[in-house]
Amino acid sequence: MAATVQQALDLVRSGGRVVLVGLSTRPAQVVPMSVARREVEILGSFIYYAGEFEVGIRLIADRVVDAEAIVGLAVGLDETEAAFKAVESGAVAKAIVEP
């Protein structure tokens, strides 16, 4: 994740925003001067709250939801664009991009 954070900070335009949506316990270093000089905004997004995980796990355990059917596609980084197109077209509900 550290390399991904650095790549995002390297590629974002001045005045742009980097949103961290994946969860990692590994540290990622940021050079504050680079962020401040370019006026880059860094945001974190958690998406879910803890109670939703309990509900989701219960639905999967009770076989109300077929977890394998939800993730319709798993691709490598080089196929990210195809994964987004598959989700946008409705061909799959969720896609996983694996490094």
Query: What pLDDT score does 17 carry?
Result: 96
The number of CA neighbours under 13 Å toward the Cβ of 11 is 8
User: Would you put residue 63 in left (φ > 0), alpha (ψ -120 to 50) or beta?
Assistant: left
Q: What is the mean pLDDT of residues 64-76?
A: 85
Query: What pLDDT score does 81 carry?
Result: 93
Q: Which of 72, 63, 78 is nearest to 94 (CA)?
A: 72
pLDDT at 49 over 80: no
Q: What's the pLDDT tens digit per position in 2-23?
A: 888 999 999 999 999 999 987 7
pLDDT at 1 over 80: no
